[in-house]
Chain A
Amino acid sequence: MSKILQAFQEHEKSIKRIFARYCRRAEDIEDYTQETFLKAFAAETKTDIQNPKAFLLRVAQNLAFSEIKRKVNTNTDHYEDSGGEEVLQDERQVSIENQIDGQRKLVVAAKVIASLPPDYRRALLMRKMEKLKFKQIATRLNVSLSTVEKRVAAALVMCNSLLREQGYDPEEFGSVLNLPEPTSERQPTERKKEETTESEQS
């Protein structure tokens, strides 16, 4: 398990307390707390973090500070955001929900990846985060191509099991917009969900 994830699990309450000073809504506190993990874990994929607990708390504190700043400026921000010209907005609620889902999904995925053994985690992140080819990963890690394939394949199997253990449906990760699972019989009630994905079907 990654150091950041371990420290996050141990100190999640302290992180929440930092945000609780500035936010009232439990959902906001939760969102900021998860975002703290994402930022810290993203940083961990780039460098070795010596003191994970201190790092997490610092990220949280910075996040909280900028949140205060934002609140002070909220009224003006709102108008400035449109930048004076008309910006097309997605009016459909569904799509906003999908975005939130996307963020939560990223948190779940990042936590699962963070729980993998380091070798597997590194290979998988090189493929999916850095978008390297297996050959490039093999060169970087100085191992054979088949070793890379095996590691990433093993990482995929582990992700699948971990997601299941945590009560998630791994297939939910199979499409950006949460299509119903492939093998099941279609129910008429699922039709509604599909309509929101038309743009995917070009």
Chain B
Amino acid sequence: MTTDSIISFPDIKEIESQAALWVMRADENGLSAAQKSEFQAWLNSGEQHREAYARLAALWGGLDILEELNDHAATDSHQRPQKPAIAARWAGLKALAGTLFATPKFITAAASIALVGILGLTYQLINSSAQLHQGTYTTALGERKTIQLPDGSAVQLNTNSQIDVSYSKTQRKIVLKYGEGYFDVAPNKQKPFAVYAGNGIVTAVGTAFSVFLRDEKIDVMVEEGTVALSSTRASTGAATRTLTEQGTTPQPAALLGTVSAGQNVIFEETVERVDLIAPDTVQRKLSWREGRLAFAGEPLSAVVDSISRYTDISIDIEDSDLRQLPIAGSFNVGEVDAMFEALQIMINVRIERIDSKHVRISKI
């Protein structure tokens, strides 16, 4: 208990320094093949190594909270949010969402998107008028795609997803048939941007948000601005199909409410849950846009669920303790073998290929 016991393990400090360096290398660019085997050898050379790495990697992820210091600097001392502890972050977030809109960054982004449009790299089916646009876009398992729309909006489609786009004179309508998309919407008050998913409609004027259609549930996360949610289910009986049929214009049913930046909502006929999430969590959950999957303490079972969306390989976890094991780290999506390899290194498990479509994760 005294300092003597610390001195008697002189290598702890050294192990922590090495572990911290590995955390840095893994965070910045991912590891090269040579580094990976070096890293694995280092991890395997002692339980203390593994523990130090896990601890420091977790702390490293947690230090993302420092980004919120920006909010405190921005609000300064002129206006006070309602309550110090709870409201401060919200005021900061709202201010942030507000300024993001007005910044040159946003304008530059829109301009560069427009440039890409001029170059004609992207869209496939355009009606004679540039603002009337129709098309279907699909991603295969493990594929990602960015679609630039003629109004300057952009859609990033995650793995195994499909959207129908139809722009009319009055509305910008997207039908998310399955999967997940991130929508960066160019502001246009005259033409609302509506994403139809399952029995729900997510409507925005100009904002950035993601919609994930999981089974019947619609999972909406807002990064900037505000969106409105409505459901078609309440008014029509068995309306599951009508939404996805071209040409039909389902009446948006009762407004369920609005969602602001930093909120994550799961809804179908009614709102099932609302979560307030920190900016770094938003970024982590959207890391698929950069082709990465990032985790900070989610259980292995959730990590495997995420990975499964990118591959047709089915993954079993043998042991219930193992399912709960928290994972901190990030993977390149699509490189499924590399993801397994990274998992193996990170948490010291056995990963067996039963056959080409079946993988089993078990304790060593």
Contact = CB atoms under 8 A, between A and B. Distances in A.
Given A170-B59, A174-B328, A102 B65 contact: yes
A10 interface: no
A156 B257 contact: no
Nearest to B263: A88
Given A45-B73, A125-B66, A174-B296, A88 B59 contact: no
A182 B58 contact: yes
B81 to A, nearest CB: 9
B264 A70 contact: no
Contact of B255 (A86, A105, A113): A86
Interface string B43-78: 000000001001111111111111111101101111
B271 A88 contact: yes
Interface centre among B24, B69, B212, B275 (most CB of A within 10 A): B69
A90 to B, nearest CB: 5
B333 interface: no
B259 A174 contact: no
B28 A134 contact: yes
A86 B273 CA distance: 15
A69 B80 contact: yes
A199 B273 contact: yes
A186 B77 contact: no
Contacts of B278: 102, 176
B20 A153 contact: yes
Main secondary structure of the interface of A (DSSP, over half): helix
Given A105-B65, A125-B66, A202-B212, A175 B58 contact: yes
Contacts of A182: 54, 58, 297, 325-326, 328
B16 A160 contact: yes
Contacts of A69: 80
Interface centre among B57, B258, B297, B306 (most CB of A within 10 A): B297
Interface string A97-128: 00110111110011001000000000011001
Contact of A62 (B72, B78, B274, B324): B78
A131 interface: yes
Contact of A174 (B59, B76, B258): B59
A23 to B, nearest CB: 10
Interface stretch (B83-91, B106-114, B163-171, B349-357): B83-91
A87 B276 contact: no
27 contacts: A35-B84, A39-B72, A39-B73, A39-B77, A42-B73, A45-B73, A90-B274, A106-B65, A110-B66, A129-B69, A149-B24, A153-B17, A156-B24, A156-B59, A157-B56, A174-B58, A175-B298, A175-B326, A176-B62, A176-B278, A176-B297, A182-B325, A199-B264, A200-B281, A200-B297, A200-B302, A202-B219
Interface of A: 28, 31-32, 34-35, 38-39, 41-43, 45-46, 58-59, 62-63, 66-67, 69-70, 77, 81, 85-91, 95-96, 99-100, 102-106, 109-110, 113, 124-125, 128-129, 131, 133-134, 149-150, 152-154, 156-157, 159-160, 163, 170-177, 179-180, 182-183, 185-186, 194, 197, 199-202
Interface of B: 13, 16-17, 20-21, 23-25, 28, 51, 54-70, 72-73, 75-80, 82, 84-86, 88-89, 212, 214, 219, 255, 257-260, 263-266, 271, 273-278, 280-281, 285, 296-299, 301-302, 305-306, 321, 324-326, 328
